[in-house]
A and B are shown apart, each in its own frame.
Chain A
């Protein structure tokens, strides 16, 4: 559908030009297109609420009709697709390092972290999805290392969500809030215990939830909003908020190279600015995300006893080095989990 819409837009634009040759050629066309490259979990929030709301707001402001090209895939995959030539005007990804990947490729040239809310548009927390009524009595991270528990979490090499999951467990343990000592070896042991119970490592957070919905596993480590969306769609599951977990912060950035090539900078920047409005923040909230704007925050999401951010763990650069580098804590825990089999 989208390519034909694009073609139609092109035709409309062309016919408009030929019909009124006296019109200045610099006038923006009546129909404009914005390409959004996003990660998977806010699909419903963007597709059903935020994009239509922005189109209406933009129409009211400028009289132009906005059409969208939307792409949703794992955050890391999306970042790589954009680096390799997918011409998204705006990237809405799961985590800072994935935007940084695009930045390092030279496609983002402005300081995107200097924007409203430091470039962050939505938040969530890492939680544990469980079967309805929590039959296995899972209360906290340590329970996921029990012998009788099967766990789902995606592959950290392909999924931003999986990185948040591991960072949440690691942070909880090293902060002494996961029931054990705070040293690195104990944190690694907890991680190894949980990884040893992982039954399926899917490619992305959404695929992992789909596997959970088919009945595999006792618990799935995931974004809180994934569980809320699943429940909104009538899927039977509950979730447990661990005593200590990480605040997920999802960044958005305009991709300079692409908006300059498409002539869509004003539109893309208008869109990113719109994401900070109460209207967009309320839409994120409606789809289970925790907004960055507290005024739009729903009150029924459970509070977290010890909520920490990636900055509390030393920032992404440090987390990637200690946790996710080759032979980092994650790889060591995985090897330990294997040895324990």
Chain B
């Protein structure tokens, strides 16, 4: 009778302290995220609407703002589409092909995250600037890259290259090639195998990576400030436009336009989740 009691008491104490630790951790992480992300975002919302909703609407619908937002969202979509496909293909190569120099390729993929994006922009200018052999030849055929929209997309592709690759890679690692072989053995063609065996588990990762590419693209600043020319209505992207509003003494307008970018990024989260769910149900 008396023997189990002492052993039960410490057990309960341990359980309680575990609970306390869990609470503390949860509270700590909650506070961390609040201070780090929620507070700045709330400040943004507050400043964006500080001059009233009418002023915010006027700032967002100013022709130059609309043009900048369209450009950022449009080039972001192109970058997301291209790197969604290219990133998946690169991940496939890295995981499934036993290439010599695979490690080097893998290291190269991460490089864009390691260098300041402004440097990325300057590198692209050094390669494709109007005075360089490549840039000059392209410009002669009306295919200017530097200070033009192709340059914007190129910079975005460079900066966002790792996202889809790194999202898809671990999923590919977990996929058992035996499943694909089984499908082939059972008479499924390449397309059917891809469609029913490979695509369902890959799709959520591809979608998540692609959404990341898009979100990063609409927010990209450094490389585009260098490579895009920044001409209103033509090559001025939303983040660089926002900088102009801040520096031109219109912080309210800058915050309002930033809110649009924030809303676009938020709207994409459910889209990404829906894609993941759709892929999951198809798999079942």
Contact = CB atoms under 8 A, between A and B. Distances in A.
Q: Interface majority SS on B: helix, strand, loop or mixed?
A: loop
A216 B129 contact: yes
A214 B129 contact: yes
A37 B62 CA distance: 33
Contacts of B129: 214-216
A243 B250 CA distance: 35
A67 interface: no
Interface residues of B, number: 24
Contact of B245 (A157, A199, A203, A216): A157
Interface in B228-251: 229-234, 236, 243-249
Contact of B125 (A101, A199, A201, A214): A214
Given A157-B244, A157-B248, A215-B130, A200 B229 contact: yes
Contact of A200 (B147, B243, B245, B248): B147
Contact of A199 (B225, B229, B232, B249): B229
A331 B230 CA distance: 15
B93 interface: no
Range class of the A interface residue count = 20 to 34
A216 B129 CA distance: 8
Contacts, number: 58
A216 B131 contact: yes
A32 interface: no
Interface in B105-132: 125, 129-131
A156 B241 CA distance: 12
Nearest to B245: A157
Contacts of B236: 201
Interface string A182-206: 0000000000000000111111000
B63 A199 contact: no
Interface stretch (A73-81, A291-299, A310-318): A73-81
A215 B131 contact: yes
B275 interface: no
A215 B62 CA distance: 33
A203 B249 contact: no
B249 A101 contact: yes
Nearest to B125: A214
A157 B247 contact: yes
A338 B248 contact: no
Nearest to B230: A201
Interface of A: 74, 76-77, 80, 101, 155-158, 198-203, 214-216, 326, 331, 334-335, 338, 341
8 contacts: A74-B247, A157-B247, A158-B243, A203-B225, A216-B131, A334-B64, A335-B63, A338-B233
